[in-house]
Chains A and B, each alone.
Chain A
Amino acid sequence: MNKTIIIDDNKYDILILKKLLEINHLSDDIMTFTSPLEALEYIKNIIPEQKSIVFLDIMMPEMSGLDFLKHVGALTQAKQNMFDFYLVSSTLDPVDIKKAQNDPNVKSLIHKPITTDILKNLLSQ
C-alpha cells in the first residue's frame, strides 16, 4: 500500500482526492496539508521509511507548487528519491506544463478533476 501526501490550499479538493484514494483502496496512509510551508517543513524533517506519493497543487497563495519543488530540489538526492511528485492543476497553462516537464522530480502533471481511472492508471505504473 502506498503512503500518500496531498498538498492543496483548497480543502474541497483535498477531500475529493482523499476519498477517492480511500474508496478505491489505493492508499491507507494519507497525510494532507493546506499549507505548502507546513508540508515542506514535514518533508524536510522526516526520515522516510518507504516511498511516498505526493499530490501537489500548482496554484497556492503561500507558495506555488513549482516553487515548492525548487525547495525539494535542494534536499539530498537520497531524500528526493523517496518522493514521487504529481503536480495537480485545474488550468492548462502551457508555461506550467513546460516547467513541470522540465522538473526531474515530477512524475506527471494531472488535470483536475482527478478521477478513479486517472488514479488507478498512475498507481499501477
Chain B
Amino acid sequence: MENASDKKVEVLFLDDEFFNLQSFRAAFRSQFKVHLAQTTQVAREILENNEIEVIISDQRMPDQSGTEFFNDIIKIYPDPVRILLTGYVDIKAVIDAINKGEVYRFLSKPWNDEEVKITINNAADIYRTRKELIKKNEMLEKAYNELDQFVYSASHDLRSPIASIKGVLQLIDLEPENKDEYISIIQQITDKMDKYVINIIHYYRSSRFEKKIVEVDLKDAVEDLLDEFQYMPEATNVRINTHFQLESPVFSDGVKIILILRNLIHNAIKYQRSDTEEKLVDITVKATEEKISVSIRDNGVGINVREGDQIFKMFQRATNVKSGIGLGLFIVKQCVDKLNGEISFLSEEGAGTTFEIEIPNLLNLEIGEPSSQS
C-alpha cells in the first residue's frame, strides 16, 4: 500500500458551471491529479483514457443529472468511487442513488474544502483497497492452481518409485537367488527419489522465500558447484571450461542465482552423449554494473525443438534419453523470472544445447533492503 499512496489520487470533477471547475482545480490541484469535465461527453472521454479513482459529479446538469450519469457509466466503469455534489436539497434522488449503491457519498454545495479533501481521500482508500484485494485474489488463484498441479504431479512422481520398489520386492520373493541384483535396483530407485525430494525443497525455497539481495561471488559459486559435481558418475571425461569476465561486484538474490547455476550446470554435465569422446561444457560468466550474463554450452544430447516452450513447464522432462526429474528447468525459469531476467536457449538434437541468461545487477540497491515487490 505504501507504493499506491505515493501516487496522487486521480479525481474526475464533472460540473456544467465553469466557475465551479475553476475553483475545484484551484483548491485541489496540489493534492490530487484533477481532471475537469464540463459535459458528460468529456467526462466519458476522460474515463476512457485515464485510470480515474474518484468521480465527483454535480447533480443538476442540463443534459443529464449526476445520478443518471452514474447509472449509465456504472456498467462500463464500475471501479471508480462515485461522489455526488448537489446544491439543491435534492434529497430523494440522493437517497435513491446511495441506496442503489451508485453513490458512495454526497457533498453539498457550496463545498467545504477540508470536507471534500477528506471525502476524496477516503474514497481513494476504498478504490485502492479493492484493487489490492483483486490483485491479491488473482495471486492466490494462481498459487492454488500451481499447488494443484504440484500436488498431482508430485504425488505421481513420488508414488511411482514406491510402486516400483514394491514390484522389485515381489521379485526378491520369487527369485531369492537374484536378491543382490534386485537390492541394487532398489538402491537406484531410492537415490532417484531422494534427488526428487531435494529438488522439491529447492523449488519450495525458490518460490516461497523473500528475496534477499547480497553480494554474490560468481566465480566462487561456479567453482563450488563444479567441485560438488566432479563426483557425478556422468562427470567423468567431461571437459569443463570456465571463463569469467567480472568487471563489477555483483548484487543479487544469492539463493536464486545459485539455484539457476546449479540446475543448468548439472544438466549440461548430465545430458552428455554416450557415443562421443569429446564431452564439453563451456561456462561463461560476465558481470557489468548493469547486468549479469551467463552462458552455459554443452555438446550433449540436445533438446528436441518441438519441445521448445514445454521445457520450462513444471515436471516436463525434456529428454527421454536419461532419467530426469523434470523440476530443474522449471525452477530455473521461475528464478530468472523473479529476478526480472531473461532466459533463452539454442539447441540441436544430438549436437548440444546453449542456455543464455541475463539478470539485472542490483548493485545500486542497498544491501538487504527489503523488497517492495512480491
**Which A residues form the contact surface with B (CB < 8 A)?**
9-10, 12-13, 15-17, 19-20, 23, 34-35, 59, 61-62, 90-91, 93, 111-116
Interfacial chain B residues near A17, Cβ < 8 Å = 167
B64 at the binding interface (Cβ < 8 Å): no
A13→B320 contact, CB < 8 A:
no
B185→A12 contact, CB < 8 A:
yes
Contacts A13-B164, A16-B171; is A91 near B320 (CB within 8 Å)? no
A113→B152 contact, CB < 8 A:
no
Measured CA separation A9–B316 after assembly (Å): 13
Q: Which of A16, A34, A59 contacts B156 (CB 8 A)?
A: A59
B156→A112 contact, CB < 8 A:
no
Contacts A12-B189, A90-B160, A91-B159; is A61 near B317 (CB within 8 Å)? yes
23 A-B pairs whose Cβ atoms sit less than 8 Å apart in the complex: A10-B160, A12-B164, A12-B167, A13-B160, A13-B164, A16-B164, A16-B167, A17-B167, A20-B167, A20-B174, A34-B320, A59-B156, A61-B317, A90-B156, A90-B159, A90-B163, A91-B156, A91-B160, A93-B152, A112-B164, A112-B167, A113-B167, A114-B167
Q: A90-B162, A91-B160 given. 12 additional CB < 8 A pairs?
A: A12-B167, A13-B160, A16-B167, A20-B170, A20-B171, A20-B174, A34-B320, A35-B320, A61-B317, A61-B320, A62-B320, A93-B152
Nearest-neighbor residue (CB-CB) of A17 within chain B: B167
Measured CA separation A19–B189 after assembly (Å): 17
Measured CA separation A20–B174 after assembly (Å): 9
Interfacial chain B residues near A19, Cβ < 8 Å = 171, 174-175
Interfacial chain A residues near B152, Cβ < 8 Å = 91, 93
B112 at the binding interface (Cβ < 8 Å): no
Measured CA separation A1–B360 after assembly (Å): 65
B23 at the binding interface (Cβ < 8 Å): no
List CB contacts (< 8 Å) of B141-198 with chain A.
152, 155-156, 159-160, 162-164, 166-168, 170-171, 174-175, 185, 188-189
Measured CA separation A10–B324 after assembly (Å): 11
B316→A61 contact, CB < 8 A:
yes
Measured CA separation A115–B167 after assembly (Å): 7
